[in-house]
């Protein structure tokens, strides 16, 4: 097999290839990395698209090929008034938590609108909001992102599957399942201990919680020939170099059906839980933060553990952490992973020694 010209795996060269040439390259990648080629597909979302392939590894993990690129990442808020970034509806949501007494719900609708208008004229409030953005979003700069094989969906941490036989033999678990059946429940969770659940009214399954450190996770991932994405790689995977706060723009569209916003839930299908322009399922859930790794330093992307939502700050503040460029300045990383909120995604960096 002839070596793959590495330049063809970067945009704009990759996008300029014919479909048949891209298919040949994608086929070769699968052969080189011992991956089963599942399908070729043109993935499209947020007015961007990528023609790529879906693969399956020997350990049953689905990957997609993501072409490399030279892109601008991060978001520059300098000299950009909030009114130039957000529409009136989103500005009102941003200001609402700064309205004195907003938690008491004692204002009429007219009073609320008046208070919001007054708040948006308060220079101190605007300065506080602007400071938040400047401190919690990565700086804008240009980066070369190398071509990658990327795990299609993120994986949970700390939870280890229980075998069907072990589940059947454990009398305590079987009693818990019996009680759940009588109560009409489909899941039982004992915090950081055991989770029993069933899918689509079928058989019951279980998983046990095991304390795991970040270093142990990384060691395990590397031991199987994978890596964790860096912060900037993750920004590219989630946003493809978008010049807006979110891949779809600067504002939350209130017609969206978003997780944890029950008043938006109309049909059970969430707007953001879909394949993006690379064919990846990005959490787009403030509670689901992904672990990234940069030269000895672990951090999170894609969420804040739900802190803003739990604080009652509303949709805009609650969903800002899903921005590709959000970087929580207050988040402290300890030794142990939090299996309830921390997830990870495997990547393989394609190098120029491919033969």
Low-confidence ranges of the chain (pLDDT < 50): 353, 355
Tell me what pLDDT residue 350 has: 94
Shared domain for 64 and 12, answered yes or no, is yes
Q: How far apart are CA 70 and CA 158, in angstroms?
A: 35
Gyration radius of the chain's alpha carbons: 23
By C-alpha distance, which of 49, 38, 43 is closest to 11? 49
Backbone angles phi, psi at 152, to 5 degrees: -65, -45
Shared domain for 147 and 250, answered yes or no, is yes
In a domain, 270, yes or no: yes
Tell me what pLDDT residue 207 has: 95
Q: Which residue has the tokens 């200001």?
A: 95
**First-to-last C-alpha distance (Å) of the chain:** 7
Shared domain for 205 and 317, answered yes or no, is no
- What tokens appear for 58 in the block? 């020997």
- Is-contact 337 292, C-beta < 8 A? no
For helices 88-95 and 109-119, give the axis angle rounded to 10 degrees: 90
Domain end marker among 177, 192, 209: 209
What sign has the CA pseudo-torsion 242, 46, 25, 280?
Answer: positive
Q: Give the three-class secondary structure for 40.
A: strand
In a domain, 338, yes or no: yes
Shared domain for 216 and 260, answered yes or no, is yes
Q: How far apart are CA 74 and CA 137, in angstroms?
A: 7
- How many domains would you assign to the chain? 3
Q: How far apart are CA 251 and CA 236, in angstroms?
A: 19
In a domain, 168, yes or no: yes
In a domain, 279, yes or no: yes
By C-alpha distance, which of 292, 347, 301, 290 is closest to 155? 290
Shared domain for 11 and 145, answered yes or no, is yes
In a domain, 1, yes or no: no
Domain end marker among 174, 189, 209: 209
By C-alpha distance, which of 58, 172, 80 is closest to 129? 80
Shared domain for 340 and 270, answered yes or no, is yes
Q: Give the three-class secondary structure for 274.
A: coil
Q: Which residue has the tokens 């499209």?
A: 44
Shared domain for 215 and 343, answered yes or no, is yes
Tell me what pLDDT residue 15 has: 96
Tell me what pLDDT residue 101 has: 59
Q: Which residue has the tokens 């000895």?
A: 296
Percent composition of the chain: helix, strand, coil (DSSP 3-state, to 5): 35, 25, 40
By C-alpha distance, which of 78, 11, 84, 94 is closest to 51? 11
Q: Which helix (H) or strand (E) holds 230?
A: none
For strand 187-190 and strand 36-45, is the pairing parallel, antiparallel, or unpaired?
A: unpaired
Shared domain for 255 and 338, answered yes or no, is yes
Tell me what pLDDT residue 223 has: 96
Shared domain for 238 and 345, answered yes or no, is yes
Its domain, for residue 274, covers 6-75+137-158+211-349
Q: How far apart are CA 154 and CA 104, in angstroms?
A: 39
Shared domain for 147 and 12, answered yes or no, is yes
In a domain, 267, yes or no: yes
Shared domain for 154 and 284, answered yes or no, is yes
Q: CATH code at 338?
A: 3.90.1580
Backbone angles phi, psi at 233, to 5 degrees: -60, -45
In a domain, 241, yes or no: yes
- Please enumerate in sequence order all residues whose Cβ is within 8 A of that of 294, keeping only pairs 6 or more positions apart, or say none: 230, 231
pLDDT tens, position by position, 137-147:
999 999 999 99
By C-alpha distance, which of 222, 283, 196, 226 is closest to 33? 226
Tell me what pLDDT residue 312 has: 76
In a domain, 165, yes or no: yes
Shared domain for 86 and 166, answered yes or no, is no
Q: How far apart are CA 236 and CA 301, in angstroms?
A: 12
């Amino acid at each position: 097999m002839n070596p793959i010209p590495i330049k063809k795996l970067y945009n704009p060269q990759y996008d300029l290839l014919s479909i048949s040439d891209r298919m040949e390259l994608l086929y070769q990648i699968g052969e080189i990395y011992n991956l089963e080629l599942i399908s070729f597909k043109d993935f499209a979302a947020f007015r961007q698209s990528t023609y790529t392939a879906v693969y399956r590894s020997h350990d049953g993990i689905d990957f997609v090929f993501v072409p490399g690129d030279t892109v601008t990442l991060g978001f520059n808020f300098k000299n950009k008034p909030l009114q130039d970034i957000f529409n009136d509806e989103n500005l009102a949501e941003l200001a609402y938590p700064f309205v004195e007494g907003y938690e008491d719900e004692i204002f009429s609708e007219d009073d609320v609108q008046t208070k919001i208008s007054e708040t948006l004229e308060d220079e101190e409030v605007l300065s506080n909001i602007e400071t938040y953005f400047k401190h919690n979003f990565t700086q804008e700069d240009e980066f070369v992102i190398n071509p990658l094989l990327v795990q299609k969906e993120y994986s949970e941490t700390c939870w280890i599957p229980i075998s069907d036989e072990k589940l059947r033999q454990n009398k305590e678990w079987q009693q818990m399942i019996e009680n759940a059946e009588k109560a009409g429940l489909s899941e039982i969770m004992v915090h950081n201990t055991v989770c029993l659940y069933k899918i689509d009214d079928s058989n019951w399954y279980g998983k046990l919680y095991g304390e795991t450190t970040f270093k142990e996770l990384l060691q395990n991932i590397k031991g199987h020939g994978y890596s964790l994405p860096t912060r900037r790689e993750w920004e590219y995977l989630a946003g493809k170099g978008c010049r807006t706060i979110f891949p779809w723009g600067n504002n939350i569209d209130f017609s969206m059906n978003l997780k944890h916003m029950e008043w938006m839930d109309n049909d059970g299908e969430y707007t953001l839980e879909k394949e993006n322009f690379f064919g990846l399922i990005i959490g787009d859930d403030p509670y689901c933060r992904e672990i990234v790794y940069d030269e000895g330093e672990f951090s999170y992307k894609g969420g804040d553990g739900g802190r803003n939502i739990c604080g009652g700050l509303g949709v805009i503040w609650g969903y800002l952490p899903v921005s590709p460029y959000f970087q929580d300045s207050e988040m402290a990383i300890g030794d142990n992973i939090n299996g309830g909120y921390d997830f990870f995604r495997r990547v393989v960096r394609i190098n120029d020694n491919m033969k």
